[in-house]
């Protein structure tokens, strides 16, 4: 038998399920899939879980699992780790929107929007941002040659 997955859920550690839910719903447009909500203690205590999906026809195109397994936001900020990336059509407009919503944006060597060029000459622009628990996420715009 070969490994075969039906979907992928990215698990994020959160300290406050309600605040994180608000961020992911209001800023990033996710919706909660109530079938998979686990409200520990009735007040979203430790080991509570919310499964969220991007508003699309297929609920399992991209999902996040917010899992309360930390009591306070990460500090100091993580320096490495897995980083979910959101690909957008207009990185500058997205950055302006995030700034207007007071989303924490990271700078790398003083630069907000960075670029990479692949071995085949394709360019992508990207910037890092943080959720209320300092989980690092990426906005990326792919550009052809």
User: Residue 25: what pLDDT?
Assistant: 96
- CATH 3.10.180.10 residue ranges in the chain? 9-68, 85-143
Q: How confident is residue 1, by pLDDT bands cut at 50, 70 and 90? A: confident
Per residue in 22-44, pLDDT (tens digit) is 999 999 999 999 999 999 999 99
- Residue 15 burial (C-beta neighbours within 10 Å; 0-12, 13-18, 19+): middle
The half-sphere exposure of 68 on its side-chain side, counting CA atoms within 13 A, is: 22
Per residue in 60-92, pLDDT (tens digit) is 678 999 999 999 988 866 666 667 889 999 999
- The class level of CATH for 9-68 reads alpha beta
Q: The pTM is what?
A: 0.85
Q: Which CATH superfamily is domain 85-143 in?
A: 2,3-Dihydroxybiphenyl 1,2-Dioxygenase, domain 1 (3.10.180.10)
Instruction: Print burial letters for 71-83: b (CB count within 10 Å at least 16), e (below 16).
Output: eebeeeeeeeeee
């Amino acid at each position: 038998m070969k490994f075969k997955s039906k979907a992928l859920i990215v698990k994020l550690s959160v300290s406050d399920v309600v605040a994180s839910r608000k961020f992911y719903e209001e800023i990033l447009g996710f919706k909660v899939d109530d079938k998979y909500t686990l409200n520990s203690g009735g007040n979203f205590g430790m080991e509570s879980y919310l499964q969220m999906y991007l508003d699309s026809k297929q609920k399992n195109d991209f999902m996040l699992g917010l899992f309360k397994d930390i009591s306070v936001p990460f500090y100091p900020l993580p320096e490495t780790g897995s980083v979910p990336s959101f690909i957008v059509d207009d990185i500058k407009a997205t950055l302006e929107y995030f700034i207007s919503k007071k989303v924490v944006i990271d700078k790398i060597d003083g630069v907000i929007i960075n670029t990479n060029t692949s071995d085949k000459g394709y360019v992508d622009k990207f910037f890092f941002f943080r959720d209320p628990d300092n989980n690092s996420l990426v906005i990326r715009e792919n550009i052809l040659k």
